[in-house]
Amino acid sequence: MSEKRTYRILIVDDEQPARQRLRELMDNDPDVGDIMEVENGLDAVEAILQKQPDVVFLDVQMPGLDGLGVIDTIGIERMPVTVFVTAFDQHAVRAFESAAIDYVLKPYGDERMEAAFARAKARLDDESVRVFGQSMLSLLDGRRQESTYLDRIVIRERDKTNLIRVDSIDCIESAGVYVALHVGDERIIHRAALGELIGRLDPRRFVRVHRSTVVNVDSILHLEPASHGEFDLVLRGGQRVHVSRTFRPLLEARLGQSL
């Protein structure tokens, strides 16, 4: 007799009580195996790429990189089956229903969660995953049409305000509560967290290649091998950016080919 399958679960929510509540509900389900938790969108991206959960319970509203931003970053084709968890009111939630995407409204009820998880498990067959991906893509396309990604970043200095064209940025590095924008041979400091900024950048142009680094795909000149099968990117501004193993699949997906 074959061993019964269990599902690996990832809970993504910036509120600890909400994560705890979801964990308690999942602990009671015999089909659940490992349960992982993260509290922000950036950690969610890393966990999805490294741990490859079967089902993700994903908060829609989070500081910095929100739930839809996580999907934008990972890409539809790489997302596990996803159940949105949200504090939106019933009227706002109809947008998710119309796109045939599962959601659970906070505060969570046992029966509602059981029904959402049952649908998530049912969608793990090939045909359901395909339909699910198409539905999610429909939602994201609508989001892109409604939202406007940044085309300029405002940099305020003591005696002036500069406007930096986003397409002129070669890469962006995290520097604590700041980011460093690399534009040609300039390094411009901007007070914004990387997680906050990346959610406002067009994912078709900017791709995360390291936990602390985002690059403009149009700025990549060539790749150079590094140690242990890894490699560095050389950008048009002369910067060298290391590509971590965790985020390498995102770059390959964006380029449409293996590296």
Cα pseudo-dihedral 45, 49, 54, 55, rounded to 10:
0
In this structure, what DSSP letter does residue 68 have?
Answer: H
pLDDT at 99: 42
Domain ranges of the chain: 7-146, 152-255
Label residue 153 by pLDDT band (50, 70, 90): very high
**Three-state secondary-structure class, residue 102:** coil
What average pLDDT does the segment 80-107 reach? 65
Label residue 143 by pLDDT band (50, 70, 90): low
Q: What is the pTM of this model?
A: 0.72
Topology (CATH level 3) of domain 152-255: OB fold (Dihydrolipoamide Acetyltransferase, E2P) (2.40.50)
What average pLDDT does the segment 191-210 reach? 87
pLDDT at 164: 94
Pick the CATH number of 7-146 from 3.40.1260.10, 3.40.50.2300, 1.10.760.10, 2.70.70.10: 3.40.50.2300
Task: Give the range with max mean pLDDT: 102-111, 129-138, 149-158.
Answer: 149-158
Q: Which residue has better confidence, 68 or 241? A: 241
pLDDT at 190: 92
- What DSSP string describes 73-99? HH-GGGPPEEEEEE---HHHHHHHHHT
The residues with which 231 forms a beta bridge, in sequence order, are: 225, 243
